[in-house]
Amino acid sequence: MRKNSSFFHLFLSLALLLGLTKPDPDPLQDYCIADNKNPQSFYINGAPCIDPKLAVSSHFTTSVLSKPGNTKDNPFGFNVTLTNTVNLPGLNTLGLSMARVDIASNGLVPPHLHPRASEVTICLQGLLLVGFVDTMNRVFTQQLKPGDSFVFPKSLVHFLYNYDSKAPAVALSGLNSQNPGAQIVSSFTSKSPIPIEILIKGFEMNDLDVAEIRKNLGG
Ligand SMILES: *[C@@H]1O[C@H](CO)[C@@H](O)[C@H](O)[C@H]1NC(C)=O
């Protein structure tokens, strides 16, 4: 009986572990360089590939992460540059992407989540306070200096704050999806506004508060 139950626990842990760490589906060939030239009249899950005979080294390289993003026009003072199938066509179907995160002094990448990816981030420059919230509402935070890394589990709300009031910060992230997606946790600025009654009840505030927050966030 005891043996059975420990076997069951092992089986369960393995199943959970495998299920939770899956990146995008495995490619069926060496690579599938995204075909960005021929506009498609149909939609598939990912991007179609070019003829593998036409593959060249430049399909597998990009310099987009070499340049700092402009943080001045962003109300929170951050700018994320992400590799994708357009600026790095060779990453199509490989189940990964990278992001350069520039954060102005005391700037914030506000609480957000990636529905399709876990993220590992390394602080390259500056001082960061990073953290995430788990589904039991526990918060895990850490201060990072250059060279320190932190992981954000898939789909959990997380943030990056530059707690240095004088210098900008730079972080580099790896994500285990070619298209991680990002959702900022702000119910106030969706494209077609969430009904005001929902915000008033959901956040226990009045209509003036909702209007002010919407205005501050530019929504
Ligand atoms: C991020 O930086 C790039 C490069 O400077 C700029 O073109 C882009 O508009 C910036 N994005 C935001 C949201 O400010």
- Phi/psi for 215 (5° steps) reads -65, -45
Greatest extent of the chain over all pairs of C-alpha atoms, in Å:
64
Q: What confidence score (pLDDT) does residue 19 get?
A: 55
Q: What confidence score (pLDDT) does residue 1 get?
A: 46
Per-residue pLDDT of the chain (219 residues; tens, 9 = 90+): 455 667 667 666 656 555 555 678 888 899 999 999 876 677 888 899 999 999 999 999 999 999 999 999 998 999 999 999 999 999 999 999 999 999 999 999 999 999 999 999 999 999 999 999 999 999 999 999 999 999 999 999 999 999 999 999 999 999 999 999 999 877 777 777 788 888 888 888 898 988 888 888 776
Q: What confidence score (pLDDT) does residue 13 get?
A: 65
Q: What confidence score (pLDDT) does residue 156 get?
A: 96
- Return d(Cα 12, Cα 29) in angstroms, integer: 32
| Protein residue with least CA distance to atom 9, ligand 1 | 70
Work out the angle at residue 104's Cα, subtended by the Cα atoms of residues 99 and 105, and round it to the nearest 5 degrees: 135
| pTM beyond 0.85 | no
Tell me if residue 59 falls in helix, strand or coil. Answer: helix
Q: Which residues are annotated as a binding site for oxalate?
A: 114, 119
Q: What confidence score (pLDDT) does residue 7 get?
A: 67
Q: What confidence score (pLDDT) does residue 50 get?
A: 94
pLDDT digits over 160-180, tens only?
999 999 999 999 999 999 999
- Return d(Cα 219, Cα 217) in angstroms, integer: 5
> Which residues, 6 or more positions from 96, have their beta carbon under 8 angstroms from its beta carbon?
23, 24, 174, 175, 176, 177, 178
| Protein residue with least CA distance to atom 8, ligand 1 | 70
Around 7, how many Cα atoms within 13 Å sit in the side-chain half-sphere? Answer: 4
pLDDT digits over 19-40, tens only?
555 678 888 899 999 999 876 6
Q: How far is the CA of 175 from the centre of ligand 1 (A)?
A: 20
* Lining residues, ligand 1, CB within 6 Å: 69-70, 73-74, 79
SS3 per-residue string spanning 77-92: CEEEEECCCCCCHHHC
- Domain-by-domain residue ranges, the chain? 52-184, 186-219
CB 32 within 8 A of CB 45: no
- 52-184: which CATH topology? Jelly Rolls (2.60.120)
